[in-house]
Structures are given as C-alpha cells and as structure tokens.
Structure 1
Amino acid sequence: MTAPGYGLNRFLAAAHPSATYKVMDRVATRRASGAQVISLCAGEPDFDTPEHVLDAGIAAIRAGHTRYTQVAGLRALREAIAAKFHRENGLNVDWRETLVCNGGKQVIFNALAATLNEGDEVIVPAPYWVSYPEMVQLCGAKPVVVSCGANSGFKLTPHALEAAISGRTRWLILNSPSNPTGAVYSREELQALAEVLLAHPDVLVLSDDIYEHLIFDGIEFFTIAQVEPRLRERVLTMNGVSKAYAMTGWRIGFGTGPGWLIDSMEKLQGQQTSGASSISQHAALAALTGPQDFIQRSRIAFKRRRDLVVEQLNLAPGLHCEMPQGAFYVFASCEGLLGKTTAAGTRLTGDEDVVNAMLDEAGVAAVHGSAFGLGPYIRIAYALDDASLRQACEAIQGFCQGLV
C-alpha cells in the first residue's frame, strides 16, 4: 500500500522491514489457522528471566518507582553499567560516559542518527544483523557492505577493511559474537583491525557486544576498545541485558563511549523516547549487581543445543554448517538444495525459497541468509528446548530428503 498524497520520508520509503519479523508474522498467521509450526527464527532466549530480577521489578512497582527517570537512565544503573564494563571488559568508564536506552537497538540508532549526514558511509561486514544497513539508510547515509564469507570465518579482514575505507567513511560496525553466524573475533584479529583504524583517525567504531556472554569452547571474549586503548575515544561499546539475562521484553540496552557522543545521543533520546522504563531499569540493576550464575547455566544449555543442531543439520542432504563459536544461531549453507524441487512442487532457486518451503511444507520457520547480506544460507536460532530442536531438525532432514 502506498502512502496518500502526503508521502513518506524518502529514507524510510527506501528502507526494508525486518526480515526476521516478517517471518515471525508468517508463523503467527499459520498458527492462527491451526498449523503446527516450530519457530527457529526469533533471536531471544527461551528461558524465564531470573527470579531475583523479577522480584526487583515487582518491588520497584510496589515502591512506586513508576515515574519518569532521567533521560540517560537512573544513576544507580549507570554506575552499575560502568562497573560492568570495568569488571568484565577492562574499560575504566565513568558513569557519566554511559547511556541507558530502550533496548540495544536504540543505542545503535541513536549513535548513527546523532553523527551521520547525507553522503557519509558506514562499513557493514556481511553477514550482518538485518537492522544495521537499514538504520544507516534511515539516517541518510550509505551502508558499504563488505562480504565476509566462510573462507574468512565470516569475519572482516584487515585487507578488506582497508579497501572499504574512503574519505566519506564515518563508522565501522563490528558484532562479536555475530548474529547471524556466531563468529567471534579473537584478540589478535581485533588488534589487526585496530592497526588499520589507527591510520584512519576519522573513522568511528560501533562495537555490538550484545552476545558477549554466549560464547563457547573456552574461547575468551574481547572488545576492540579493550584490545586497543588508543581507539577508546572513538569507540561506542554497546551491550544490554536482553540476551545474557533473558530480558528481551524488558527493553534495556546500554552503551559507553566518548563524552561528546554520549551527550549527543542523550540529547537525541530526550526528544525521542526520553528515558527507558523505570521498572525495567530497576530490574536491570538487579541483573547486573545480583547473582550471575544464570549466565553460566544458560551457556551450558546453549552449547548443548548448538552441538545437537549442528550435528543434525549436517545429516540433512544439501545442508552444511560449521560450528559457531558464540550467540545462539547456526548459519547453514543451503547451496546443495538449490535447483531442486520440493514434494509439493516448489522449485528452490534461492535461500528465501528454501525457508518459505520449509515453513509451508515442514512446519519449521527459519530466516534466509540473504536477508543478512550473504546467501545462499539459512539462519537457525537454537533458542528452544532440546526436544523441539530435535523435532525441528528431523523435519528439516525429511524436507531435504524429499527434494528431487
């Protein structure tokens, strides 16, 4: 449907809706019609929020903490965020250099909207989270997508970064562990990228660390401002409570960066949403300062699920996936399915055909890799109980075996 004569903002008109939410809408429609669907498309843990965090939210309501907070967030929460960055990431952060937002997505959008002008460029390694290039475009700038295939572990190399930088480059976006691939940058890989960035002092870095605590096999997490302190004054480090503490619906993200950037983001937020939910902020404070054993328990469960899904998907003819190092996604190549026809007569010409047919014919929902900037792949979110994951994998195997 087109807008009436008033028209739309031209940057919004050129943007695309989230592919993940489009699949989720299809799942909801099919379930409403009575179909049985196992959804492997949503990027959120299936665990309940820890009990002490729930209690803190309820206590905040009972105590009357139901009014506006400061735009940048409660001081106690900002102090806890600063302590988290120091404790877990080795960043000496003053609480004034932090900002609390309505989810991690708003942290990213605020930073881009506060700094980008028409003609600016943002380097976005692909595969990427679906919202990165759309946010850049909504701000009137140009996403410069750099393809990072399986041969580089789905990670940006120093050579590719250097080649992508131009006189118009304003930001580089880094996401580790990655959505959708689960790839994790090592200290050495981040240092090599930092060496390139040091030669380009006008390029800012947005480090999306939201999956920081979902990392496996004894691999250590590093963030670029920690690895190279000389970049600290031009790095925005973003994180939040959604993935680590199963708090997606509470909508609390946060970031730290140079004072001028945090001040600008706060100014923008003050004219946009104001502060985040007061109740959610009190719950997030409890998450950051209370018992941390939930993180280890969920990591153990996700590793078990990862191992199960990778093993089972690699038994499906035409699918192939490497072992992801973090997050809760498997990025499986479906190149071996293309050119084949499903049992219902659908010819598979691309990865979007694959996920659509899997939903329609096998009752399993995934997201096509081309929506993340690299096809032909499918993204499977294994944030679901073991029995459902096994059932979904068996349905996918049956779907693949039925192709001709």
Structure 2
Amino acid sequence: MSKLAAFGGTAAVPKDRRRVQWPLVEEEDRKAVLDALDGARLVSDTDGVNPVSLLEENWARRFGFGHCVAVSNGTAALGLALAALGIGPGDEVIVPALSFIATGLAPLHQMAVPVFADIDPVTFNIDPDDVERRITDRTKAIVPVHLHGAPADMDRITAMARKHGLAVVEDAAQAPGATHRGRPVGGIGDAGAFSLQVSKNIPTCGEGGLLVTHRGDLAEAIRKGRQFGEVIESGRDRDYVSYGLGWNYKMNALQAAFTDRQLDRFDTYESARQRNITAFLGRLAELPGLQVPTAPADTTHVWHILRFRFDAAAFGLDGVGAQALRSAMRRVLRAEGVPMSQYQLMPLPDQKVFVDRVGFGSGYPWAVTGAPGTVEGEGYPVTRAVIADSLTIQKRHLHPGAGELLGMYADAFEKVWANRDVVAALAKAAA
C-alpha cells in the first residue's frame, strides 16, 4: 500500500502533469478574432451580417432553438429574460437554494423577490416537490438551473408552470449541449440563458452570454431590452428611440467570433469528454462511501463540474461530522494532485444580500410584498447537507485530452481509499 503524499509519500499525479489549459485557444480562434478586429462590424447594432449575428444563427441551428440573442454575460441573459416576460416589482420568482449567486440576483434586478427551494440530493437540481410547496398568488416564474451540466426535471417543472400559469426561465449557464428526453436544455421553458464565461464548456475570450427561445415575441422583446429599448433592424436607420425600458447588454464582435470557432469544435470536444469522464466516474463508483455524479434517466449530462459526496457512515466513521471527513478528503486528495475544491460555501438564501434585504435600499423589493427576508441558517436541509459533505473538480476535465490525467485522478482516489484508516484518523482528529 502506497503512503499518502500528505504524509510523505509520492503523489499519484506528478507536479509537471497538473497544469491543464482551458479553454483551448487554437490558431483558428486567434484568426477569427483578428479577422473580426479588422472588420467594420465590431458591435451587434451594425447593419447587416456581423460576427454577433452569425454566432446567434449558428448557435440556434446547432442546438435547435427558434431564436438566439447574444448578450454581454449570462447574468444579463437571466435578467433580460425575466424583464421580457414582464416580471416586476412584488412578483415572486422561485430559484434553487444551490446555484451561483446570479440566479438569485436576477429576480432582484427586476425588483422581484427570489424565493428559494431545496434541491435533489443526487442531481443537485431544484426539487419540484419543494417548488410546489412555495408557490403563492405572487409567484410569477420558476428558474430551474441545470447545475453542473445535469438537466433539471423539466417535465415536472413545465407541468407545474402550466398548472399555475407561471413562466419558466432555464438557467443553462453550465449546460450547453445537455438534453432532457431528447430536447436541448434552454429551449424547453419560455426562455433559456447560457453563459460563455471563459470557464464554461463553450467559452468566449472573457465574458459573454446567450438567450434562446422558441417565441418570436419574446426574442423581439429581448433584442429591444439588450439595447436601450430600441428597435434595431437590418435596413432600417437607427432612430435612437427607446420604446421601453432597456439596458446596454450587447456582445461585441471579438467575443462572438471566438465563441463561434469554439462552437465548431464542440461536438469533437464533447465526444472526448463523454468518453473520458464516463471511464473516470466508472472507476470511482466502486469506492464505498463515495457518491459520484450521475446522469438522470433520459438525459445527456455535459459534466461542467464534477461534484462528489462523501458518506461518513459508509466510510466507517459513525459519529464523525460530514465536514470533518470533507476536510480530510480535501487535504489528502489535493496532496495527491487532485484539485478538489468547494463550489458554493453557503446556500444562496444565506448570502448577506438576501439575509439583510440589501436590495435597492429600504428593504425593496421585499417591502413591496411585506414578505420577510431570508433568515440565515433556516431550512434547505438537502442543500446544507450537500455543501457540508461534497467537493468538486472543475475545468481540468473539460480538456478533450484529459483522459490520461483523469486516470491519474482515479489512481489517487483509489490510493486514498486504500489508506482509509489514515483518512479516518485524520477526520476524527478534526472533528
């Protein structure tokens, strides 16, 4: 049995193999950006075809969406979708308690109240049963997040939305290419928001976002909203008239040109990722006390983030808290060269912006409804359990050539499990 690196042994992953580039920047990406820079159409409001409109067209065609609107980032995409759907002051929007902060802030930006629902313990997505319990007369929308690339239960969510007359905006920031019962995520609800931030499965060279919908009226409202409420049409002179509330949420040509080339290679990258990650998770699934991420039935999971849960009891540590085992695992696996990290340190409702009802001052938008703010530490038992007992792997596995590295990661996990007595002692000492 090999000695753990944390205690003087040789690491399973050599230091010179740990650095992994993501995104991959190829010569065609550089050329596309330079061509856009040399072109005359650097912003999306220029007349005629430009890199932004080409990306919109290509994204819609590749994934089967009726309309695609490019915007400055994924957060802007969420807010624009809610605005276009008429979500406003005093409305309630149900969002998951586990997500990136943008999911909770998007309703707030519309002066709507985010209402948090707990998550499923396996998929980490919003729990439809808890959503149902939280619907009130003020509820106007649900924002399911396809967290880590795993599709949420869209059949139940859309059925619930139809029953109660609610809008559905999919937060697909981490899930381009994921499908639910053969349908691409983002195009199942009223609208879907994607992020192109540089860490995503399909990135741009910085920040960017996309909104998709099958509704022409919604696409038109979103296009107005991204540019000051103006109507921008090919062949029509810009009149600088704001026909409604709008923002400056445009994407520039360099971002669009870069992403368009990444989109060209997505299928090749995704095929390699599916092979690499499936083999990696298959090895880890045999380890007792370890819950590996899985794809829900009839879905395609795109594995943006890999979250692992540690079961102290199954590991032989009755009476030892989840956080103690997680801390021990983080220490020993990182020493072996596996970059385990936490993703989200608290449930969204514990964020100070929601607990303190910072909002727009004077307690707005909560003051509109008379609803109390969230109370730090209340509710959401599944979300709290997942945060307490899990760690994640991010970015490294997105590289299509990461198969060998993931094999080393699997060696490291198996080595740690072969030293379970040492890890147990470490966890007990930290308890």
Scaled by the length of structure 2, the TM-score of the pair is 0.61
Relative to 1, partners in 2 of residues 1:68 and 1:85: Cα closer, same or farther, differing over 3 Å? closer
Relative to 1, partners in 2 of residues 1:252 and 1:360: Cα closer, same or farther, differing over 3 Å? closer
Aligned pair partner of 2:392 in 375, 379, 403: 379
CA shift, 1:157, in A, is 5.8
Retained in 2: the 8 A contact 1:319–1:337? no
Aligned pair partner of 2:43 in 65, 69, 76: 69
CA shift, 1:303, in A, is 1.3
Higher helix proportion, which one?
A: 1
Retained in 2: the 8 A contact 1:207–1:238? yes
Aligned pair partner of 1:124 in 85, 95, 105: 95
Q: Say which SS state the counterpart of residue 99 (structure 2) adopts.
A: coil
Paired AA for residue 179 in structure 1: L
Relative to 1, partners in 2 of residues 1:281 and 1:102: Cα closer, same or farther, differing over 3 Å? same
Relative to 1, partners in 2 of residues 1:256 and 1:383: Cα closer, same or farther, differing over 3 Å? closer
Relative to 1, partners in 2 of residues 1:158 and 1:396: Cα closer, same or farther, differing over 3 Å? closer
- Find the aligned partners of 1:129 and 1:38 in 2 and give their Cα distance: 30
> Are positions 1:256 and 2:212 aligned together?
yes
Paired AA for residue 103 in structure 2: Y
Q: Say which SS state the counterpart of residue 423 (structure 2) adopts.
A: coil
Retained in 1: the 8 A contact 2:343–2:391? yes
Choose 1 or 2 for highest CA Rg.
2
Q: Say which SS state the counterpart of residue 368 (structure 1) adopts.
A: coil
> Are positions 1:403 and 2:423 aligned together?
yes
Q: Which stretches in structure 1 are left out of the alignment for 5+ residues?
A: 1-34
CA shift, 1:264, in A, is 2.7
Aligned length: 337
Q: Say which SS state the counterpart of residue 365 (structure 1) adopts.
A: coil
Relative to 1, partners in 2 of residues 1:247 and 1:360: Cα closer, same or farther, differing over 3 Å? closer
- Find the aligned partners of 2:16 and 2:107 in 1 and give their Cα distance: 34
Q: Say which SS state the counterpart of residue 302 (structure 1) adopts.
A: helix
Retained in 1: the 8 A contact 2:94–2:143? yes
CA shift, 1:197, in A, is 1.1
Q: Where in structure 2 are the equivalents of 1:249-328 lying within 5 Å? A: 249-257=205-213, 258=218, 259-267=220-228, 275-285=250-260, 292=264, 294-324=265-295, 325-328=300-303
Q: Where in structure 2 are the equivalents of 1:5-404 lying within 5 Å? A: 46=22, 48-49=24-25, 51-61=27-37, 63-65=38-40, 69-70=43-44, 75-77=49-51, 79-84=53-58, 87-93=61-67, 98-111=68-81, 119-125=90-96, 127-129=98-100, 131-136=102-107, 141-150=112-121, 153-156=123-126, 158-175=128-145, 178-180=146-148, 182-185=149-152, 190-208=154-172, 211-213=175-177, 220-223=182-185, 225-226=187-188, 235-239=190-194, 246-257=202-213, 258=218, 259-267=220-228, 275-285=250-260, 292=264, 294-324=265-295, 325-328=300-303, 329-336=305-312, 349=323, 353=327, 356-358=330-332, 361-368=335-342, 371=345, 373=347, 374=383, 375=386, 376-381=389-394, 382-384=397-399, 385-400=402-417, 401=420, 402-404=422-424
Relative to 1, partners in 2 of residues 1:277 and 1:81: Cα closer, same or farther, differing over 3 Å? closer
- Find the aligned partners of 1:118 and 1:275 in 2 and give their Cα distance: 25
Sequence identity (%)? 14
Q: Which stretches in structure 2 are left out of the alignment for 5+ residues?
A: 1-13, 231-244, 348-382, 425-431
